[in-house]
Amino acid sequence: MISHSFFARLCGVVMLCMMPLTVKADRGVFDIDRWYSVMDNVRVKASQQNISKDTVNATLRSPVFIPSIVKSDRNQLEFKLTLDGYLSRMVNPTRISQGRKMRETYPTMLSRVEKKYGVQPHVILAFWGLESNYGNYKAAHKLTDAFLTLMYEGRRETFFENQLLALMKIADDNGLDINDIYGSWAGAMGHFQFIPTTLKQYGTDGNGDGKVDIIHSVGDAMFSAGNYLNKLGWNQNEKIVRKVVLPADFDVSLLDGKTKKPLSEWAIMGVMNPDGSPIPVADMTAGLVADVNVVMETRAAAAAAASVNAANPNAIDTDVAPQPVIEAYLTYPNFYRIKRWNSSNWYAIAIAMLADELK
């Protein structure tokens, strides 16, 4: 009698033989023994975690190595947009309009999330809009193949192994077909782009069918997002950010959001509302975030202009106009809760800006 393991390996060989001979992986040409070793380790650890044989066999039945995922993982582009450019792209009129339509489409579900988790509808909608464009993002990869490929690559093998095992457990517990779960090349899935370990910890049944399916159920997705933000400490009575202006010579080392001071101290240092009025000084701490590269470029341009003007003997007036004030954002505690979802300062500001538009 031929074992199921034999069939799994045979299918793996067939799939791998279909690949170009130029496929590269962790080191040199494709290492079939390492590929088998990765799958064997998954089988052993899944058994230790009491994941069913059916789910294990479904995961490893005909795995496919995806070279483009390795390329994506090794060549992630450096972010080059300015903060204003990023906000213009992420918080655009189309996304705002679609968010308002989604609020009209799901008023009951959004109200239930707010009542249970204390996260306002406009906040849930902002995350939904940025993460998947309200579910319009089309997942490109079967996640089992994505995780096995990234495990084989080896750069973050343990992390992606944990993601695959969590996905297998989720499929097991919720009666899902693991081969029908698709996501991004890095493993994010569903309306709010959760990775499996996050979903395993915070996933919630929002539509009452006894399952957690954040890909096909908007209710499950919204409830899971609300639960996650609630566990992060979301405070519905606090702002996320406040747009402010700073003196032109403000210390740029304080503008990465890491330095937190009482609002009263920031006020003393010259932080003001854009109209020049004092900022509110409630009893809380906040950070400051600005596009430091733009600030430094503005300063360099002003210095260059001053140098040219000073060197021009025919100049009627050698005085140079003062540098413009710095535009920045005061970042309140909810901002840092968003950063535990996504560590980007700019992402957190975009969530705040989109949420304000969707109130």
Tell me what pLDDT residue 155 has: 87
**pLDDT over 80 at 111, yes or no:** yes
Please give the pLDDT value at position 53: 96
Within this chain, do residues 184 and 304 fall inside the same structural domain, yes or no?
no
Residue located via tokens 């569903």: 190
Q: Alpha-carbon distance 273 to 328, whole Å?
A: 10
Q: What is the predicted pLDDT for the residue at 28?
A: 54
Q: Are 258 and 325 contained in the same domain?
A: yes
pLDDT of residue 18 exceeding 90: no
pLDDT at res. 80: 75
Whole-model pTM? 0.86
Q: Which structural domain range is residue 36 located in?
A: 4-75+138-231
CATH value at residue 225: 1.10.8.350
Instruction: Kindly give, in sequence order, each residue whose CB lies less than 8 Å from that of residue 69, ignoring residues fewer than 6 positions away.
Output: 141, 146, 149, 150, 185
Question: Domain for residue 62, yes or no?
Answer: yes
As to burial, measured by CB atoms within 10 angstroms (0-12 exposed, 13-18 middle, 19+ buried), residue 148 is buried
What confidence score (pLDDT) does residue 302 get? 73
Residues 22 and 57 in one domain: yes
Same domain membership, residue 30 and residue 157: yes
Residue 61 in domain: yes
Please state the separation of Cα 169 from the chain's center in Å. 23
Give residue 21's pLDDT band: very low, low, confident or very high (50, 70, 90).
Answer: very low
- 31 and 161 housed in the same domain: yes
Mean per-residue pLDDT for 275-294? 95
What CA–CA distance (Å, rounded) separates 341 from 339?
5
Paired tokens of 2: 């031929």
Between 302 and 218, the more confident residue is: 218
Give the tens place of pLDDT for each residue, 136-194. 988 889 999 999 999 999 989 999 999 999 999 999 999 999 999 999 999 999 999 99
Tens of pLDDT, residue by residue over 229-255, are 999 999 999 999 999 999 999 999 999
In a domain, 107, yes or no: no
Token duo for residue 322:
């003062």
Please report the pLDDT score of residue 79 as a whole number: 60
Q: Which of 50-54, 75-79, 158-162 comes out lowest in average pLDDT?
A: 75-79
Question: Is residue 92 pLDDT above 70, yes or no?
Answer: yes
Q: How many domains, in total, are found in the chain?
A: 2
End residue of a domain, out of 204, 231, 258: 231
Average pLDDT in the chain? 88
Residue 339 domain flag: no
Q: Is pLDDT above 50 for 318?
A: no
